Every structure is written in C-alpha cells, then in structure tokens.
Structure 1
Amino acid sequence: MIFNLTLYLSATITLVVIMDPPGNIPVFLSLVGRRSKEARNRAARQAVLVSLAVISAFAVGGEAILSYLGIGIPALQGAGGLLLLLIALDLLTGKGATEPEAMEDVNVALVPLGTPLLAGPGAIAATIVFVRQADGHVPSYLALAAAILTVHLVEYLVLRYSGLVIRVIKDSGIVLVAKIAGLLLAAIAVQLIANSVKGFVTGVA
C-alpha cells in the first residue's frame, strides 16, 4: 500500500471543516476587497502560502516545537483568540473597512489571513493529531501531505475567485461584510479563548 486513502479523506474533510474556506470570504473581502484585482489575487496567494508553510512546519516538527517551548494547545488557542479579537475590534469599529489607505502598508495576507485565520490553532492541533495517527508509516505521511495540499488548493481557489462577490455587493456591501466579518471573528475569538480556558482547567496538553 503506497497511499493511505482513509487518512487522506479524514484529514482533508477535517481540515476543510476547520479552516472553512467559504467562511473566510467575508474577512478576506473586508480586508482587501477595495484593492485592485491584482492586489487581491496576490493577497490570496500569499495568505495560502503562509498558511501552507505554517501547517507544514507544525506537521514536521509541531510536537517538538511546542514541547521545547513548553507550550500546550490551550496556550496556542488563547493566543490565537486574542489576536483574532483585536482584528475583530478593528473591523467592528470601521478601521478595517473605512480606512483602506492605512492598511496598504500592512500585509494582511500574513496576519491575520495566513495566520491565525487559515493556519489557526484548530488546524495546527488537528495536523499534529493526524501526524500522531500516521505513526511513522510512509503511506500515511504521503496521505497527510496530499491532504494539506488539497485543502490549501481549495482555500486558494475560494479566495482567488471571491472577487466575483464584489461585483454583486459593491463598495457599500463591503462595509456591511466587514461588520459581519468582525462579529464572526469576535465569536471565533471568544470560542478559542473559551476552549483555551477549558483546556487549562481540564489539563489538556
């Protein structure tokens, strides 16, 4: 057996659900929706590449990295939640949507799009779990690598063609989307922080 199809399907479905490509469209548009088509495409490409690099790094040495730094998954969730909460507050107060010029100098493709939105604590934790399941078997590692690439390809295609949404909602719609995205990000952030607290209380590493 040269490919673990079961692990591939399991990892792909799990990561797609966690990373939620369609759900990232509002945040993506709220941050780069008013930029040129070329800038949006570049942001989509950079965000996905950053996410791929982060997820791959944790797949290769995630457990060793966290162990060396003495960091557990709950701490990772808490940090990601706090970072997303700051971005959410910016969007809700209008900074993310009504001051696009101020954001031209900030590469939002790296933060918050690449991480922690795409390569967030949930995706990182899931990847580490799947690496444990691979248990040193080459076919399983190949399946996991293929799953990670597949998910990021889907993510790129969704963000790359999110510009079609702009033609429908126009500039006024982007402002509304920014508010909705801010609310959703705030909810995600609070959930991450709650999961972090729960993890510390229950002693989950």
Structure 2
Amino acid sequence: MLDTVLLVEVFVTLFVIMDPVGTVPIFLSLTSGRSADYARRAAGQAVGVSFFVIVAFAIFGQQILSYLHISLPALQCAGGLLLLLIALELLTGNEKEPTSATGNVAIVPLATPLLAGPGAIVAVMLFVERIDDVATFAAVAIGVIAMHACLWVAMRFSLPILRLIRESGVLLVTRIAGLLLSAIAVQLVADAVRAFIAGEG
C-alpha cells in the first residue's frame, strides 16, 4: 500500500519550496527574446536537470556533503548568493550578458539553484531518512516526480503568456522576477546565517 500521508506531505512541502507559480515570471524573463522552441527545450532541460540533482542528493547527499566538509547552511548560503547575483542582473537590465555567457539558462539559474535549490535538496534528504519500506519509498518517489511534472506544466504553458504580453510586458515581468529572486536569495542567506549562529554549521 502507498503511504498517501507521506506522499501529500512530500508534494506539498516541495510545492511550497519550489513554487511552480512563482517560477513562471522568472522563466519568462530568462527566456525572453529567445524562440519558442528554445523556451520549450529550456523548460524540459530545467526540469530534467533539477530532477537529476534532487535524486542525486537524495541518494548520495549526506555522503557528498560529509566528504567535502560542507554543512547544509553553507550550501544554503552559497545558493542564496548566486541567486542574488542573478536577481541584481535582472533588476539592472543586464540579464542578457549572463545568459549569453553561460549559453543555457535551463541549467543555471533555472534548474539550480532556483528549482533544485538548498531548500528542496535538504527537504528531500530529510524525507529520504523516513523511508523504511516500499510504501514510504513509493510515496517519496511519486511526490518528487509529481512536483517536477507540475514545474514542467507551469513553465511549458507560460509560453502563451510570453507571446501575449510582448516586449513591454516582458520588461515588467523581468523586474518583478528580479525582485522576487532577490527576496528569495536574501531569505536563503538569512536562514543560513541563523543556522550558523545556532551552531548548526
């Protein structure tokens, strides 16, 4: 039997952390000026890479962090600082430079650290610790898969919005996305600092 309580808990927790709705304006701003085919590929690649990162950390996360002597607050702080840099570029209108430099916004910043960020990674690692039979394993696995399906749907169907709002709307969305990203980044760093002060780092 499937552990439906754990399944709902995994899905709701990841939904709040990964925020498919809040991802839409950021996705639109990062893919503006690109073709519809590119945006569709970016949505698929971002979800695929995010899923791979989440699964990798679910299986090997604790060993990776222990081997590299990295604490969870340090990982969270690093993700927050990276998001803050991207947010500043969106707010100041320089977002085209990093996208052309990296060549693929689907991997950075969409897949990581935006989707598969420290919060999602830590949450999944904690849920994995609760797996003790097939039912709990299935619940965690289905919850993670369902969450990534929601992320893909949100980004995939944001493309008609991009065509509707045109260039002026994209500019507005880009600024809003920058503001949202900066708030997320500051919160990540603040939580990390709080954890360091509490002696968890």
TM-score tier, shorter chain, comes to over 0.9
Q: Which position in structure 1 is the counterpart of 2:135?
A: 139
Moved more, 53-62 or 137-146: 137-146
Separation in 2, partners of 1:101, 1:191: 23
Mapping of 1:115-130 within 5 angstroms? 115-130=112-127
Give the secondary structure class of the aligned counterpart of 2:130.
Answer: helix
Q: Which position in structure 2 is the counterpart of 1:200?
A: 196
Aligned-pair CA distance for 1:102: 6.2
Q: Which position in structure 2 is the counterpart of 1:7?
A: 6
Question: Any gaps of 5 or more consecutive residues in structure 1?
Answer: none
Is 1:188 matched with 2:184?
A: yes
Identity within the alignment, %? 51
Separation in 2, partners of 1:117, 1:142: 25
Is 1:71 matched with 2:70?
A: yes
Q: Which position in structure 2 is the counterpart of 1:107?
A: 104
Is 1:87 matched with 2:86?
A: yes
Give the secondary structure class of the aligned counterpart of 1:95.
Answer: coil
Q: Give me the TM-score of the superposition, normalised by structure 1.
A: 0.93
Structure 2 residue corresponding to 1:148, chosen from 101, 121, 144? 144
Separation in 1, partners of 2:12, 2:89: 31
Q: Give me the TM-score of the superposition, normalised by structure 2.
A: 0.95
Moved more, 139-148 or 78-87: 139-148
Aligned-pair CA distance for 1:100: 7.5
Is 1:44 matched with 2:34?
A: no
Moved more, 75-84 or 57-66: 57-66
Deviations 1:130-162 (A, max 9, x none): 01122x322211211111100000100110110
Separation in 2, partners of 1:33, 1:156: 17
8 A Cα contact 1:85 1:186, kept in partner: yes
Separation in 2, partners of 1:154, 1:102: 25
CA RMSD of aligned residues (A): 1.6
8 A Cα contact 2:99 2:105, kept in partner: no
8 A Cα contact 1:34 1:100, kept in partner: no
Separation in 1, partners of 2:106, 2:74: 23
8 A Cα contact 1:4 1:139, kept in partner: yes
Question: Any gaps of 5 or more consecutive residues in structure 2?
Answer: none
8 A Cα contact 1:78 1:196, kept in partner: yes
Which 4+ stretches in 1 moved above 4 angstroms? none
Q: Which position in structure 1 is the counterpart of 2:18?
A: 19
Q: How many residues align?
A: 201
